[in-house]
Structure 1
Amino acid sequence: MKIGKIACLLLVLTFSVQAYSQTSPKRFEKDSLAMKSAFTEIEKGNVEAGFQLALPQAKAGNAVAQFMVGCGYAEGMGVSENDLEAFKWMKLSAEKGYSQAETRLALMYSNSEGVKQDYSQVIQWFTKAANQQDEVAIYHLTTIYGNGLGVRQNHSEALKWMTLGSKLGYASSEKNLAIAYKNGFGVAKSDSLAMNWFLKAAQHGDAESQYIVGRAHVDGFVVEKNEVLAIEYFKKSVNQGYDASLKSLLALYYKEIGMPKGKGGLTNLGLLFLRGNEGIEKNSEIAFKLFETHAIQNKNGEAYYCLGYCHENGEGTVKDVAKARVMYQMAVTYGYEAAQKEVNRLATKSAVTGSE
């Protein structure tokens, strides 16, 4: 499985924000600065122009440019996809010690991208990158040794890497360490230490850990029961698209926990997502589903009204004024009289324009 165009592009764009990072040794600062014009074009969305600016730099030996060109060929960004060319440029960059290229090269060996699968090379290049504190490489080495992927399972080796990542504050490593303590993998089983590391991972933005900490506060497991605090963790997780947190959040909101009195119910929850407030980021698709569920299951007039709004304005669904008229009329039918104004408005608009 390939890394994906957006993910690869984000890796490259790291260097338009700063000349070098924790996962990019200072010796590549000059290479990064020389790529400024290429980064600028990519940020504008001109991927092909960015690739063309990077290519001469790559040919001249710029490690950052070689990484970027390798990504371009690997994902078809600004150039036709070509696994062999991608491997060639990525290897050149990795051989110069560029950590992100080392990580990407390991993935190429793992996924047979432009080269025959070779787990010895996978481990070699992940290890090189991990020794430069590359978070992705550390995560993969933890997984490789923890699950015995291409090597004999070795919990001690997995623990070594996840401990390093945790000391560096990497959420993925903190979550893995939490799982190790929860299940007793390479360490003595401890629910309290597991929760401690889940909490750190949650604070550093891991969506699954945010959900786990939220559930712990709902259930009063290891930590004190606190449903209002649980909501804050669920919201952070939901904003990253973690579905399990959405279900837990809705269950609490529906009971009006953590919300102003009278603001519960599926329709009001839908409005939270439609408008983007109460700490919830705007998500029209979720809002539409909540309105639809409430309208159909409970024959709720206000929910039908909201569906009419969504159809009319293309919020969470395809814009369809004809369907909007039907939804507004259904709202009236089920007692939401305010929708009559919208029915009349669209009827007048239809008569004027001659549309159905």
Structure 2
Amino acid sequence: MFKLAVCFWKGKHVKKSQKHAIIWFRKAAMAGHPEAQFNLALCYYDGKKGLEKNEKRALYWFSKAAKNRNVNAQYLLGVIYDVKKNEELAMKWYQKAAEQGHVSAQFYLGLCFHTCSKKNIKKAIYWYKKAAEQNDARAQYLLGTCYNDGNGVPVNKEEAFKYYSLAAENGNTDAQFNLGLSYARGCGISSNPTLAVKWYKEASKKGHISACVNLGICYEHGCGVDRDMNEAIKWYRKAADAGNSIAQFNLALCYENGNNVEKDYKQAFYWYEKAAKQNELEAQFNLASCYAFGKGTEVNYEKSIEWYRAAASNGCYRSQFNLGIYYLKGISVIKDYSHAVFWFRKSACQGFAIAQFYLALCYLKGKGVEADKNKALEW
């Protein structure tokens, strides 16, 4: 009966007919044939011709097939319960399929142990390795990250590199990017900027945004490739358009400085603002400066202080110093020497020489602090 169903399904020796195939799949399924049960479940699950989509019936027949050790049914039951957020049943069926060697089940079982409430990183690594042995690129990549970060295993950059290489060769985009990083930084392998660029390019073909950014940096600085600002700007723009704040900042710098593009302060301002709103520290400082000096926009000290404050709160020593100046001179704020000292000290403690000088002056003249010549000399 099952073979006849397959013949109708594929149109082998008979006229192709999904309707007749389903009739024979049902007969075989009711007679206990695991593959027929699985195929009938698929028909209900997908809503094939001759059957309306019926998840309840699909689950019934998937369960029948799974209990009869049909590995694909076991795996798909795992997927279905995973989607339904039923962790216990998902792991139960992934495990049954994984123990029969189903590679995707092995990977997802590893992922469950890695991320679910029953987290067990040792078991996760065990199943990742099982899947990796069957060339599962996802498992190879995650094994690489485990060895790279020391997650469940001792840090081993050579093992990380090995698994990144395997996954990258098998087309895993994140692994291709990380392999590029490994070559760029000399992690687990001798530094090789040329191979770093090769793998960044492979990852960028599939839209890996960080790879696009790194390609831009490589072309801008001539690292692993000949310096080519046109290529750098191309890659920065691709990543910037996709919302990457580093690329947005670097593209803004190109427009501000006229690096292989005509100087365009409005474009620089546009990209600084995009990056600043994503908490890119230097972009926040530069955006504040644009408002302070009217570069690409009208002078607006209120906006300037808003962005200097944002950058200063994120630890930017130049913004901290500039805020100190604003309070010292009363630029768009009420003159407040104690606030000036507060920000000068923040900046000075990060080693910014001019902030140290102004802090010393405050101590010398007793502005915002009690006059103290010794403190002044110290700064």
Flag whether TM exceeds 0.5 (same fold).
Answer: yes
Q: Which moved more, 1:236-245 or 1:211-220?
A: 236-245
Q: CA deviation at 1:256?
A: 4.6
Using the alignment, how far apart are the partners of 1:69 and 1:205 within structure 2? 31
1:176 to 238, 250, 273: 250
Q: CA deviation at 1:249?
A: 2.0
CA contact (8 A) 1:51 1:69 kept: no
Corresponding position: 1:138 with 2:204: no
Within 5 Å, which residues of 2 pair with 1:143-222? Answer: 143-222=217-296
Within 5 Å, which residues of 2 pair with 1:49-60? Answer: 51-59=121-129, 60=131
Using the alignment, how far apart are the partners of 1:252 and 1:133 within structure 2? 43
Q: Any idea what SS the aligned residue of 2:223 has?
A: coil
CA contact (8 A) 1:109 1:122 kept: yes
Using the alignment, how far apart are the partners of 2:367 and 2:329 within structure 1? 21
- Distance verdict in 2 for CA 1:266–1:100, change over 3 Å: farther
CA contact (8 A) 1:227 1:252 kept: no
Residue identity in the other structure for 1:54: A
1:119-147: CA deviations, max 9, x gaps?
33211211122223323211110011111
CA contact (8 A) 2:147 2:159 kept: yes
1:243 maps to which residue?
317
1:35 to 111, 116, 140: 111
2:195 maps to which residue?
121
1:297 maps to which residue?
363
Higher RCO (C-alpha 8 Å, min separation 6): 1
- Distance verdict in 2 for CA 1:195–1:295, change over 3 Å: closer
Q: Which moved more, 1:141-150 or 1:231-240?
A: 231-240
Using the alignment, how far apart are the partners of 2:123 and 2:317 within structure 1? 41
Q: Any idea what SS the aligned residue of 1:35 has?
A: helix
Using the alignment, how far apart are the partners of 2:342 and 2:107 within structure 1? 48
CA contact (8 A) 2:288 2:307 kept: yes
Q: CA deviation at 1:172?
A: 1.3
Using the alignment, how far apart are the partners of 2:209 and 2:246 within structure 1? 8
Residue identity in the other structure for 2:318: A
Q: Any idea what SS the aligned residue of 1:115 has?
A: coil
Normalised by the length of structure 2, the TM-score is: 0.57
Bigger radius of gyration? 2
Q: CA deviation at 1:101?
A: 1.9
Q: CA deviation at 1:182?
A: 2.2
1:106 maps to which residue?
180
CA contact (8 A) 1:54 1:68 kept: no
Q: CA deviation at 1:246?
A: 1.5
- Distance verdict in 2 for CA 1:242–1:114, change over 3 Å: same
Q: CA deviation at 1:229?
A: 0.7
Normalised by the length of structure 1, the TM-score is: 0.60
Residue identity in the other structure for 1:297: Y
CA contact (8 A) 1:70 1:88 kept: yes
The alignment-based identity, stated in percent, is 26
CA contact (8 A) 1:198 1:212 kept: yes
CA contact (8 A) 1:63 1:92 kept: yes
Q: Note the residue ranges of structure 1 that are not aligned, 5 or more in a row.
A: 1-27, 43-48, 275-284, 305-356
Within 5 Å, which residues of 2 pair with 1:207-356? Answer: 207-257=281-331, 259=333, 261=334, 264-266=336-338, 270=342, 297=363
- Distance verdict in 2 for CA 1:182–1:77, change over 3 Å: same
